[in-house]
Structure 1
Amino acid sequence: MDGKLTIDTALVSRLVAAQFPQWRDLAVRPVASGGWDNRTFHLGDEMTVRLPSAAAYSLQVEKEHRWLPQLAPLLPLPIPVPLAMGVPAEGYPWHWSVYGWIEGETARRENIADLSQFAADLAGFLIALKRIEPTGGPAPGQHNFFRGGPLNVYDGETRQAITTLGSRIDGTSASAVWEAALAATWQGPPVWFHGDVASGNLLVEDGRLSAVIDFGTSGVGDPSCDLVIAWTFFEGESWEVFRADIGVDDATWARGRGWALWKALITAAGHIDNPVEVEKSWRVIDAVLADHRRRT
C-alpha cells in the first residue's frame, strides 16, 4: 500500500455517504477475505465496495467498469458487474468501485464436492471467455502487469530467482522449463483471458464452481497465463481433466508452465527465510518441473 494510507470502514463510509447518498445508511463491513491488491467491504447485504490498495492497481478500475458488463452476459457463470464508480476524495487518491454481491465461498478443496467436475467447469468457463469477440479489448500492459504478453518481460527476475534459490531447487530443470516457455512464442490471434485464475478468485456453492471474480488483470492476448491453476490447485485426475478439457496446444501449455514457474520462483526467492510463506511455492515448482519432465 502506498505511503500511510489507511483503507478501513470509516473511509469507505465517508466515501459512500458523500458520493452515493442513496446508500449512506447501509452498513459497511470488511469481507472475510478482503484481498491484497484491493480492499473489499460489504455495503449492506447486496453490494460490495472495492478500493485499490496501491496506484498500480488503480488502473484496473475503469477497465472493469467498461468491460465486465459486456462480458457478463456471454459467460456461463456469474462475474462481478460494477454498479457505480467512485472518484478520489476524503484523502483516498484513486477511483473505486461498487459491485453487486455474489454469493459463494472461496474455493478450497474441502468445500468442492468433485474436484474433477470443478476442473471441467472452470475449463468450460475459460473457453467461453476466450470465444468472446476481443476487438478493442485491453492489450497487455501496466494495468495487468503484462499478463497476456510475452514472458520475456519477466526473464531477468526469473533467472535471478533461480540464482538466488541456488541448491534449494533443481536450477538446471527450472532453467530448462523457462527456456522452453520463452521459445514457445504465441502465434495466435488475441483472445480474452482472466489473468489471475487462482482459488481465491473462484467461488463455490453447493460444492460446485459458482462464480469467477477479480478481473483486474484481465485483457486480450495470449491466454496461457490462465493455465497456472493446473499446477497451483489441481493434481491427479483433476489435473488431467483440466488439461484435456482446456484443449490448448503444447506450446501454450509450455508458456503456462512458465507463468506458474515465474510466480513460484519469485515468491520463494522473496521469502527465502520464511518456510511457511514458501511452502506452496515449493509444491508448485515441484509440480511444474515434474510436468516438464513427463513431456520431454
Structure 2
Amino acid sequence: MPDKPPAEITIDARLIRDLLAAQAAATLPGAAGLPLEKVAEGWDSEVWRLGDEHAVRLPRRAIAAPLVLHEQSVLPGIAERLAHVGVRVPAPVVAGVPAAGYPWRWSVVPWIQGECALDVPLAARSAWAGTLADALGALHTAAPADHPVNPFRGVPLAARDAAVTDRLTALRESKTLDAASAAVIRDVWRAGLSAAEWTRPPVWIHGDLHPGNLVAHAGALEGIIDFGDVTAGDPAYDLAVAWLAFDTTGREAFIAATGSRYDADTWVRARAWAAAVVLMLLAHSDDNPAYFALGRDAATAVIADASG
C-alpha cells in the first residue's frame, strides 16, 4: 500500500482556535479557549477533541474537502432520523467555512463517548446487533436526486468487478489468501453479480460501514461516525457490515432484526460486498494491523457462511 499522502496544509491548535474564535462564538461561546487535542489523522482529515463534548474535523487534502461538505449538508437530517433509535451521528454543530488561511470547509461535531467497535470483542457486539439494524432502517430512506455521488459505493456490483478480480488475483499470488479461500470468495462475488440488481429508488447509505466507524459503550451502540462517503444507492453495500462486524450469533440477530426490509437478492449482494471489502482490507492494510485483522476475520466469516 502506498504511504499516507502528505498533508497539503499544516493544521495546528493556533489555526483551529482562530477558526473557532471567528465562527463558533455564537453557537459555542468560549469554544476557542477550550482544551484542544489532536486525536486522529487519516488520509483525508484530522480530528481534534474540543473540550469534553465536541470535536473539530478538518480536511488535510483538497480531495477530501467535498466529503466535509457532504456531511454538513446531509447529516442533520440523518441525525434526526437515527435519534429515534438512540444512535448518534456527528452532525455539525458548527459548519465552518474557509478563513484564517484555511481553504476548505470544516466542522465542529459532537464528541460521541465510547470505544471503537474494533476494540470490542466479536461476541460482545451481538448485544447491539438489533440497534444497528434499526439504525440502518432509519438511514435507508429514499434520497433526493441531488444526493452526493460516490462512484465506488452503492453502485451495481458489476461496476467494481475488474477491481475485485484484480485484488483477488494479487492476493492469491502473494499467498495472502490460499487457493481454497480465494475460490470461495470468488464464488461469493460471482453470486452477487448474478443476483438481481437494486431497481428501487436509491436510498441513503453510509458508504463506509465497518466496526472502525461504530462507537459502542457499556454494551450498547452509541454512534455511527465518518460519513464522508455518504451517498445513495443499493443498501446492500451497508448491509455487508453483517459479516464485517459480527460473529455468527450477532450476524443472525442483525439479519433477523431487519425483518422484511430487504429481499434475498439484497443479502446475496451484501455478502458479495463484504467479500469485496475483505479483499480491499487485505490488499491495502499493510501499515494498519487492526484493519488487516478485520479483513482476515471478515474473510473467515464470509467463507464459513458460504461454505455452511
TM above 0.5, yes or no, is yes
Aligned to 2:283: 269
Q: CA deviation at 1:242?
A: 1.1
Q: From the superposition, tell whether residues 18 and 110 of structure 1 become closer, same or farther in structure 2 (CA, over 3 Å).
A: same
Residue matched to 1:9: 13
1:175 aligns with 2:186: yes
Matched ranges for 1:143-182 at <5 A: 145-166=151-172, 168=175, 169=177, 170-182=181-193
Q: Which residue of 240, 243, 263 maps to 1:231?
A: 243
TM-score, normalised relative to structure 2: 0.81
Contact 1:140 / 1:149 at 8 angstroms: preserved in 2?
no
**1:99 aligned onto 2:109:** yes
1:63 aligns to what SS in structure 2? Answer: helix
Which residue number corresponds to residue 134 of structure 1? 143
Contact 1:85 1:97 in 2 (8 A): yes
Instruction: Give SS of 1:217's match.
Output: coil
Checking the alignment, whether the CA contact within 8 Å between 2:17 and 2:32 is kept in structure 1 is yes
Amino acid across the alignment from 2:34: L
Q: Secondary structure at the match of 2:98?
A: coil
Alignment partner of 1:280: what SS?
A: helix
Work out the CA distance in 2 between the residues paired with 1:157 and 1:67. 29
Alignment TM-score, normalising by the size of structure 1:
0.84
Where do 1:52-63 residues align within 5 Å? 52-63=59-70
Number of residues paired by the alignment?
Answer: 289
Report the 3-state secondary structure (helix = DSSP H, G, I; strand = E; otherwise coil) of the residue aligned with 1:24: helix
Cα 1:267/1:201, change in 2 over 3 Å: closer
Unaligned runs of at least 5 residues, structure 2: none
Map 1:197-236; keep pairs closer than 5 Å. Answer: 197-236=209-248
Asked if the contact 1:261–1:288 (Cα under 8 Å) also holds between the matched residues in 2, the reply is: yes
**1:193-215: CA deviations, max 9, x gaps?**
22222222222233211222222
Distance 2:208 2:220 in 1: 19
Equivalent residue number for residue 295 of structure 2: 281
Deviates more, 1:55-64 or 1:117-126: 55-64
Within the candidate set 32, 50, 73, 1:66 is matched to 73
Distance 1:230 1:188 in 2: 22
Cα distance change on mapping 1:34 and 1:103 into 2, 3 Å: farther
* Runs of 5+ consecutive residues of structure 1 not aligned to the other structure: none
Secondary structure of residue in 2 paired with 1:209: strand
Residue-by-residue CA offset, 1:208-248 (whole Å, 9 max, x unaligned): 11222222222221111112222222112111111222243
Q: What is the CA-CA distance between 1:272 and the residue it aligns to?
A: 6.6
Which one-letter code corresponds to 2:19 in the other structure? L
Distance 1:49 1:275 in 2: 26
- The 1:139/1:112 distance shift into structure 2, 3 A limit, reads same
Structure 1 residue 35 displacement after superposition: 4.8
Distance 1:286-1:63 versus aligned 2 partners, 3 A rule: same
What value does the CA root-mean-square deviation take over the aligned residues? 2.8
Secondary structure at 1:30 match in 2: strand
CA–CA separation in structure 2 for the residues paired with 1:269 and 1:79: 29
Which of 52, 62, 78 is 1:45 aligned to? 52
